[in-house]
Amino acid sequence: MTAKTSLGIGPEEMASRSALGIDTEELASCVSCGLCLPHCPTFRVTGEEWASPRGRISAMRQVQDHGMAVDESFLASMDSCVQCRGCEPACPSGVPFGSMMEATQAELARRRRVDWRRWGFRVLGHRWLLNQLSRSLAVVQRLRLVPSKRLGLPKIPLVQERLRATGNDVWLFTGCVMDAWQRSTHASAKRVVEAAGAGVALPGPGAACCGALSLHAGLEDHAHALAARTMKALEGSVPILVDSAGCGAVLKEYGKHLGTPEAVAFSERVMDVHEWLAAQADQLPSVGERGQDVTVAIHDPCHLRHVQRAHQSVADVLSRYATVVTLDDEGLCCGAGGAYAAMQPELAASIRDRKLEAINRSGADIVASANPGCTIHLANAGVDVRHPLEIVDEAIDYDG
């Protein structure tokens, strides 16, 4: 199996032997024990060292410490990484792999000549434009003019319900693609949070995108600009609830990325919506007639489990409304990885195959995943997958 390196860089930039800009102490912090290997989805499906965290660190050292030129195989090693960060909790030495990979991607982004992501991701920061484009895409989809599955796209709704603020106790972060393509999930999350007794405030267009996709593509400047806008749009001191694991992980790391006291204070207010709900357990409404008769397998999104390490709260909340089973694959990634499924379709599909086997072994009726990327990627393989709070919303007895 090979990784795609369609975002190649020019020969001069490749040969440039300047360092990758990775923190030297971080790069020195791996003892090469290999305990990360089985927790890396790309190593699991290839069995090849270049597609493992240890191999990637070794490759970074070759370039940064030993002056090896960036070449096609280096790009393949880096671009094949899903950035799931499953290696981080597995590492007894706490090697900050995500931070090293972000630094590497930022340097590669500077060297790449053509990268559609540089322009494409700009749309995400403009809510009106993104909504218009999504509506057009929805029409084109209905006319069967785009190969949606091959592109990894979900069925985009033609009409979206309008969300209305109900108070100022908490913010509900709505984000970019999820708001444009899966707003009904936000509606469910909002109803459940309100049922737990909180008035929900909705951010204006300034908080149009958290910047996660840009950050993972190494487009640091764009990511930082989006972060600054998002922080401004979500001012105040109330908790910021997030129903997308990928967005929540980045919002929680603004403090680390921007390094300002405001960013640190902002990140401290960010909670995954399930974390917040689990802390209000006594306020949660009771189960209606439709609850409990369904068996749900929880797929932990990587950025909820490995980065936020808050995945237990999904089970805590969901188990009140449904019979919950856990998958036996120790939280291995599903291969979605934001834009990864579109960039590396072959690897993403192999990784998903392992996940499908785990889902089959669980014997569950449906799968719950608290991240839009995972739900789209798994649904494209025919899995009945929903956001946990959609299942909760359906099970709650709002009249009871």
Partner 1 sequence: MKFRKADPLMRDLRRVLPSDRVRVAPLERSIMGRDASIFEGGRAGPVCFPISTEEVQGCVDAARRHGRAVVPRGAGTGLAGGAVPLEEPVVVVATKMNRLLSVDADQRVAWVQPGMINLDLSRALAPYGLHFAPDPSSQQVCSLGGNVGTNAGGPHCLALGVTSAHVLAAEVVLMSGESVVLGDADGWTPGLDLRGAYVGSEGMLGITTAIAVRLTRNPPAVETLLLAFDSVDAAAQTVSAVIADGIVPAAIEMMDKNIIWAVENFVGAGFPTDAAAVVIVEVDGLPGGVAAEADRVAELAVEREGSVRRATDDEERALIWKGRKSAFGAIAQIKPNYYLHDTVVPRTRLAEVMNQVYEIVDEHDLQVMNVFHAGDGNLHPLLLYDAREPGIMERVHAAGSAIIEASLAVGGVLSGEHGIGIEKRDFMPLMFGEADLDAQARLRRAFDPEEMANPGKVLPTGASCAEVNALGKVPEGVWG
Say whether residue 254 binds partner 1 (CB under 8 A).
no
Cα–Cα distance measured from residue 357 to residue 338, given in angstroms and rounded to the nearest whole number: 22
CB of 365 within 8 A of CB of 384? yes
Does 59 interact with partner 1 (rule: CB under 8 A)?
Answer: yes
> Minimal distance in Å, beta carbon 58 to partner 1?
5
**Closer residue to partner 1 in complex, CB, 91/273:** 91
Among 11, 94, 259, 363, binds partner 1 (CB under 8 A): 94
Backbone Cα Rg of the chain: 21
Task: State the CB neighbour count (10 A cutoff) for residue 23.
Answer: 12
| Tokens matching residue 387 | 């956001």
Q: Which is nearer to partner 1, 18 or 32 (CB)?
A: 32
When the beta carbons of 22 and 322 are compared against partner 1, the nearer one is 22
Give the whole-angstrom CA distance, residue 366 versus residue 177.
23
Task: Report the candidate in 231, 282, 294 with the shortest Cα–Cα distance to residue 257.
Answer: 231
Of the candidate spans 12-20, 65-73, 163-171, 377-385, the one that interacts with partner 1 by CB under 8 A turns out to be 65-73
* Contact between 77 and partner 1 per CB under 8 A: yes
- Full DSSP string of 138-174: HHHHHTT-S-HHHHT-----SS-PPP----SSEEEE-
Measured from the CB atom, the residue of 221 and 357 that comes closer to partner 1 is 357
Whether residue 182 contacts residue 243, with contact meaning beta carbons closer than 8 Å, is answered with: no
**Is residue 95 at the binding interface for partner 1, with CB under 8 A as the rule?**
yes
Q: What is the footprint of partner 1 within residues 294-323 (CB under 8 A)?
A: none
**Residue 138 vs 347, nearer CB to partner 1:** 347
Burial call 323-358: b when 16+ CB within 10 Å, e when fewer? ebbbbebebbbbbbbbbbbebbeebbbbbbebbbeb
151 binds partner 1 (CB under 8 A): no
Q: Is 181 in the site for partner 1 (CB under 8 A)?
A: no
Select from 7, 9, 20, 37 the one that contacts partner 1 (CB under 8 A).
37
Among residues 74 and 276, whose Cβ is nearest to partner 1?
Answer: 74
| Residue ranges that bind partner 1, judged by CB under 8 A | 1-2, 28-35, 37-38, 47-50, 54-55, 58-59, 62, 68, 71-74, 77, 91-95
